[in-house]
Amino acid sequence: MRRGPRPGPPPGTRRTIRIDVQYEGTAYVGWQRQLKGASIHGLLERALGKIADEKVTLFSAGRTDAGVHARQQVASFSLRTSRTPVEAFVDGTNTLLPPDIRVYRSEEAELLFHAPEAKEKTYRYFFQIGAEPLVFLRNYTWHVRQALDLEAMREATKQLVGTHDFAAFRTRGTETKTTERTVREAVWGSGPLELLYFEITADGFLKQMVRNIVGTLVEVGQGKRKPSDIPDILASKRREKSGVSAPAQGLFLWRVVY
C-alpha cells in the first residue's frame, strides 16, 4: 500500500530545517538579495515561505557572487508554527523555483543549527586552456588562451596552505572580525573536455578571496609573477599587491562540512 507523506510535528513546535541546494548562478545577482535583480536567496525564501505557510528567513553557508555557481550550498531556517512535512521542502519548493535552482535535500536539524557556522568549505574554479574556447562552457569556465606553467602554479599554491592573514586577497565591501583564515588544502586537477581546475578548502573565506587567489596564480602561470612572490603578497596585507580577480563564472561552491 502506498504511504502518504509523514505528518509534521505538533502545532507550535519550533523547528530548524536544513536544506542543501544546487544552482547555476548565471542569471542572478548572486546568492544575497539585492535592491535590483533576482537573487537565489530571495527566490528560495519566497518559495519556502509558501510551502511552510509562514515567513521564512534563510541563512546560508556562504554568499556567492553574481555568476558564481554552487554544487552544494547549505542553508537553514527556523519555523514557529508550520507543520509542513520536511520532505515537502524538496518536492514542493522545487515546483516554485526556476530550473536553475534546485533543493536536493531537506532535513530536521538541531534547533540551534545555523548554516553559516560551517567547519570548512571547498570551492572549485574551472578553466579552459587553449586557443579555441568551447562555447557551451562559457558560463562555467575561464578561457585562458596561452599555456600555463602548472608546476610554477603548484609551487605558488603551496605557499597558501596553513593559517595566514589573507587581507591581500580580500575585495573590500564586507567587514569581518579578522582577515586570518586557515587553508587546509589547495590542489590542481584536471577533468573531462581538457578542463583544468583549482580546488581550495578552508575554515572560511573573505569576500572574493578565491577569485583573487586564482587570478594571482594564473599570473604566476603566465610568468608575470614568481611562486616566491606569494609570501610577500600575504605579508603586505594590501589588495593591490595581489593579482587580477578571476571571472565569476568559473567558480563553484563545491562542498560544505559541519
Which residues are catalytic, by number? 65
Contact 20, 86 (CB under 8 A): no
- Three-state SS string over 117-160 comes to CCCEEEEEEEEEECCCCCHHHCCCCEEECCCCCHHHHHHHHHCC
Please name which of 175, 157, 179 lies closest in space to residue 166, comparing C-alpha atoms.
Answer: 179
Contact 32, 215 (CB under 8 A): no
Please name which of 233, 85, 132 lies closest in space to residue 225, comparing C-alpha atoms.
Answer: 233
